[in-house]
Amino acid sequence: MSEDRFRSAQKAGRPLYNAWLTLNSPYAIELVAKAGWDCVTIDQQHGLGGHSEMVACLTAAKAARLPALVRVADNDMGLVGRALDAGAQGVICPLIESLDDAADFIRAVKYPPQGMRSWGPYRARLEFEGDYFSIANGWTIACAQVETRGALEALDDILSLEGLDMICLGPNDLSVALTGRLDIRAPEVADAMTLVLNKAKQHGVIAFVFANDVEFARDAVKAGWDMVAVGSDASWLGATAAEMKRKASE
């Protein structure tokens, strides 16, 4: 069986650094693996490409020995199942706002009797010797994204659900929901982050946060978040390109 890096790192208290990829390029996955990132997210909500690009990225992630999550575009059983069947260990679902939203999502991730995932793991089963079905529910990651007032209000109920393995806090959308502006350092966002982190720890759920910049990421790791993303491949490329142009033209 492949290493379950997400759960083993949580148990060891070792933070994971997640490379958040929106360009959906297999070559980008090879580059972040070489650079030493721990795992990847392939963004199918706000990223480029469709199903074929996702499969290519998951193939590259397996070759690079990087555990992979896919953020789907919507809380849709078909999209969730396609990502898992293609080899994603876990799925991030955006805009989870209620207990019912979270329960529907978990049913899409887990096989019966825990859920309603349909059988057909054409790439997923290649990770394992023997019976994939018997281990799949304990291997897959159901990650609900917290980015609305509704999610905060239903947080305890959501985190109590059997089969919810990870929570991902999206500070950009959450800041808009709480303050009406994009401000990830607003006091309201800081309070929400503390609440989500503490509740996740109480429920034994992996706590994942997206950070726009390195300073925000460092503070999150110091606070005890289990996993942090630091920007995205598109933001890295844009920032580095601008800095190189600036230095070259001095």
Cα 24 to Cα 50: distance, rounded to the nearest angstrom = 9
User: Does the active-site annotation cover 51?
Assistant: no
Which residues fall within 8 angstroms of residue 18, CB to CB, at 6 or more apart? Answer: 37, 38, 39, 40, 41, 69, 208, 227, 228, 229
Active-site residue identified among 2, 3, 11, 46: 46
- Radius of gyration of the chain, Cα coordinates, nearest whole angstrom: 18
Omega before 113 cis (within 30°)? yes
Catalytic center residues = 46
